[in-house]
A = this chain, B = another copy of it.
Amino acid sequence: MKFATLADDSLDGRLVVVSRDAQRAVAVPHVAPSLLDALQRWDAVQVPLQAAYDALNAGTLSEAFAFDPNACAAPLPRSPQWLDGSAFLNHGRLMDQAFGMPPIPDFDTIPVMYQGASDDFLGPTQDVPLPSEADGIDFEGEFGVVVGPVPMAATPAQALACVRLLVQINDWSLRTLGPREMRAGFGFLQAKPSTAFAPLAVTPDELGDAWRDGRLHLRLQVQWNGQRFGEPHGGEMNFGFGELLAHAARTRRLTAGCIVGSGTVSNVSRAAGSACIAERRVIEKIDQGEIRTGFMRFGDRVRMQASFDDGRPGPFGVIDQQVIAAR
């Protein structure tokens, strides 16, 4: 199934079921007004949602309408928690060099993860208001999972079984502010403004065998101002989402609708390019001896779209956002 959320006056927006080809949508207020509500009552709503999805795909719903990604909020405009790992170790090791930080202890064996704000997510084509170009404005292309309730101390296998939906994420970052926050040890706060999401959250079956081992085996095609920036592959994730979720749930239960992210998709092969500017910059420094690429300016755009290994577009739709000066 594919779900999107149309922006309205409410905090959780209006849930729509979207056809497999992302051309048609239907509201399902009699089943669940919002995606968060559906996730909180998943066992009760799964069958009627599947029925709506099947009828939509069969073209038999007279109340269906054209799906407009520009009318979308994030699939969950707010969620109970947003926890972001750094599960592509290639990225993490490069970022330690970029930030001038010593290597993180146990980085290869224990996931690192920060708690982000989850009350104010951005939709796929919403402008990104930020206070200053001097903060080092950067995108971060990621994949993520949305879970049902995960009990405290769940194992990776138990936690993985709680995954309800898969999502595609742009975790906006302010690189000038990150190193100080890392050194203070309290984690990212000012360095992480509102996170953005592709329009469609999808059940894992929509990926077929591209969802396996708790990983999304998709490429993430990233363009900055229309220029190719990279297309790293999600299958290279060093920790799977089962491990990330178990790490998150070690001393707390996760409630329905919590989102856990992979961290920036990143491949060892330089040919894959990057899914964030900071990583490209440190690669330039290492490979060419100097940083050549600046961070984003107001008016810049970033576009992100997943793709299957056979070249078909991924199931999440497109993130296409512009950075603007706040106010």
Please give the residue numbers on chain A whose beta carbons come within 8 Å of chain B beta carbons, in ascending order: 11, 40, 78, 80-81, 83, 86, 101, 104-107, 110, 112-120, 129-131, 135, 152-153, 174, 177, 180-194, 247-248, 250-253, 255, 258, 326-327
Contacts and interface: CB of A to CB of B under 8 A. Distances in A.
A8 to B, nearest CB: 15
Contact of A185 (B131, B185, B327): B185
Contacts of A83: 189
B112 A251 contact: no
Given A80-B78, A129-B152, A189-B83, A117 B184 contact: no
Contacts of A182: 185-186
Number of copies: 2
Contact of A115 (B40, B105, B114, B152): B114
A117 B115 contact: yes
Instruction: Give chain A's interface secondary structure class.
Output: loop
B153 A120 contact: no
A11 B183 CA distance: 36
A190 B250 contact: yes
Contacts of A252: 117, 120, 193-194
A120 B258 CA distance: 11
B190 A81 contact: no
Nearest to A152: B326
A185 B101 contact: yes
A214 B153 CA distance: 39
B104 A184 contact: yes
A251 B177 contact: yes
A186 B113 contact: yes
A251 B132 CA distance: 9
Given A78-B80, A83-B189, A252-B194, A153 B119 contact: no
A78 B11 CA distance: 14
B255 A104 contact: no
6 closest pairs, A vs B, by CB?
A: A187-B187, A182-B185, A80-B119, A114-B186, A115-B115, A190-B250
A120 B248 CA distance: 14
B190 A187 contact: no
A190 B251 contact: yes
A275 to B, nearest CB: 19
B187 A186 contact: yes
